[in-house]
Structure 1
């Protein structure tokens, strides 16, 4: 198959996934549609290396992971995290619920490796799924390598509709209080001003360290250079720590991204400003679907039971723990559960779903601001904490717990 034909085919699949997700308002996740089409292709006429043929071999995907995870770190700030402390506690409670309930049920019904491989993708998204899939493959467990990807693909079926339902219920209650003149404030104490978490998505300012550099010199190459340099520092640190403790360079990319944006070396969302975010996500998504070339119909049938059981267990666990902590912190059941559910998809789905819900509830601009102030920042921070931070750290730890196949 020629390179450009391979590229056209796989991009067509990604676009079909987007169309279906848009038409169904994300009730059918795009990643599910793409996964089904890739499987159909692999089981018929796709070459097993179609993604590499199209131009995204493993070495390119690893480079994109360095850039994307460092970019994730720039979306966080210590100041915003302190303001959203209730959100952080609820998100961490939901994650703890996933670990405990999935751990208990999983260890009773399945083997240790299945549970270990499943938990980080359930807590996070694409990056943790790739880390666990790679770890399982290296340990001689190709079925579980596919399982990590399948969980990432399927968990949106639980996350998207439940979040939409919960946020709509929460939004209606907020509007009812606002219209009756009884509305007070949001989780972080704000009364309608734009959150720093929201500003991180929209901000275009030059980083502080380069504030005196003319804007004309802040080219896309300069933005890529600084992002790659931070990723390189994370790699060097990981190698330096190797004799003492094994720390994933991707975990350090996240930490260094936070530090680099805080000190003004990187701007917020530099990949987007360098016009590279879309391409980076595309490359990583293709790398994810490339893992499915090892999946057989028999393998998928074997994975159906643990897939359903562990996703349901995760939802139950996050519900119980997040709602209990939310009640203690005087956060509504709906808002607490919605924050916890961001673990199943993260950014940008949390941003998109919240805005869709707000737009469906009211057309009044003032009411939209009230709902945005109340719901959007907690949803973004919830996704950042679970998917961006904890899941990557958790995957970095748990990948070392996989028991390799001997012989």
Structure 2
């Protein structure tokens, strides 16, 4: 298959996802539609390496991840990041719900080994999935090794539509309060500051540099500096503590924006955001090539059972803790659901729900300030931190059984 044919086919899938999402007003997520179409493609006409053939190999996807996450950090302030402590508590409670229900109710249907292998991939990403897959192989549990990868690949099919539904309910509720004057969103509480920051095309550390030198490449250059710094700090910390460079990208993006090294959303201003999201989404869907029909048939029951029980536990625990912290059950469940997919799906689903709910720019900004920060923070907490810790613990237990 030629590169341009591969690229055109994949663009068609992404566009169909957008059309269906727009037609259904985000009740059916574009991410969900694309995932289904990718599965069909891999089972029929797609070569296994179609994403790489189209021009997005893993090294490019990793680069885009650094740029995108750093860019996302510029959407938050240090104050907003600190204010997300409730999100972190709710997210951890949702993960606790998965673990508790699977180790209790789940044990009625599946053995301990199956539960141990399944939990980390369910609350995380590719790293935790690979850790558990390798641990299962070493224990001689080949089918469970496949199950770890399969849950990672398929969990989004539960997470995408549920998140859309929860965010739509939350968005409608907050829009009603906003229109009635009951709610003043964060972005309007500091309106003057926000307007000033949005109007600024030049970050304050470089305000004396002539505007003609602030080119698209200068923005990419500064973004890459922050991303590079995040990478090397994670390397330096590695002997003492394992910290994902992507978590540091988010943190350093916040700091760089607050200190005036980066402007708000530099990737958009450098006209690179759309392509970066495109490339990263293709790479995420690339993982679906591992889900063969035979694999699904063999492991369908344990996979579905584990996901259903786990997600129910997540809902119960996050709703209870959310209520105690004054967060709606819809928002609490939505942030917990980020464990099933992480970034960039959390950003894309949130954004398309907001656009489906209102076309008013001011209302979109209000909803964005309310929903996007917790969704981003939750995604990084679950996928990049907690899941890897759980994988380390559970793989150790599995090897000792």
Q: TM-score, normalised by structure 2?
A: 0.80
Q: Kindly state the Cα deviation for residue 114 of structure 1 after the two structures are TM-superposed.
A: 1.0
Q: CA deviation at 1:135?
A: 4.7
Secondary structure in 1 matching 2:7: helix
Per-residue deviation, 1:60: 1.2
User: Deviations 1:170-205 (Å, cap 9, x if unpaired)?
Assistant: 544665xx3xxxx544476x87765989998x6653
Query: Which of 370, 377, 380 is residue 378 of structure 1 equivalent to?
Result: 370
Contact 1:354 1:376 in 2 (8 A): yes
2:19 equivalent in structure 1: 19
Deviations 1:230-276 (A, max 9, x none): 22112222222233333322222222222222222122222121111
| CA contact 1:167–1:335 (8 Å) conserved in 2 | no
Which of 4-13 and 297-306 deviates more? 297-306
* CA deviation after TM superposition for structure 1 residue 383, in Å: 1.1
Post-superposition offset of 1:162: 3.0
Aligned-pair CA distance for 1:392: 2.8
**Range with bigger deviation, 346-355 or 272-281:** 346-355
Matched, 1:394 2:386: yes
Q: How does 1:164-313 map to 2 (within 5 A)?
A: 164-169=168-173, 171-172=175-176, 178=180, 183-186=181-184, 194=191, 204-313=200-309
1:38 alignment partner in structure 2: 38
Preserved contact between residue 340 and residue 382 of structure 1 (Cα < 8 Å)? no
What SS is found at the alignment partner of 1:243? coil
What corresponds to 1:123 in structure 2? none
Residue aligning to 2:119: 115
1:316, 1:81 → 2: CA distance?
28
Paired residue for 1:9?
A: 9
Asked whether 1:47 is paired with 2:51, we answer no
Cα distance in 2 between the residues matched to 1:92 and 1:238:
21
Cα displacement (A) at 1:321: 4.2
Residue aligning to 1:78: 78
How far residue 312 of structure 1 moved from its aligned partner, in angstroms, is: 4.2
Contact 2:26-2:356 at 8 Å conserved across structures: no
Q: 1:49-104: CA deviations, max 9, x gaps?
A: 1111111111111211222222222222112345xx3xx35423431232111112
The residue aligned with 2:155 is 151
Equivalents in 1 of 2:334, 2:191: separation in Å? 20
Listed one character per residue, the Cα deviations across residues 17-65 of structure 1 (whole Å, up to 9, x for unaligned) are: 2212221222222222222222222222322211111111111112112
Q: Tell me how far apart the structure 1 counterparts of residues 338 and 226 of structure 2 sit (CA, whole Å).
A: 27
**Would the aligned equivalents of 2:170 and 2:330 in 1 still touch at CA under 8 Å?**
yes
Contact 2:122 2:307 in 1 (8 A): no
Measured in 1, the distance between the counterparts of 2:192 and 2:302 equals 39
Q: Contact 1:167–1:334 (CA<8 Å) still a contact in 2?
A: no
Q: Once the 2 structures are TM-superposed, how far is the Cα of residue 160 of structure 1 from its aligned partner?
A: 0.9
Shift of 1:336: 5.4
Gaps of 5+ in 1: 121-128
SS of 1:9's partner is helix
C-alpha separation between the residues in 2 aligned to 1:95 and 1:283? Answer: 28
Gaps of 5+ in 2: 138-144
**Cα deviation 1:259-300 (Å, max 9, x = unaligned):** 222222122222121111111111111112222222211222
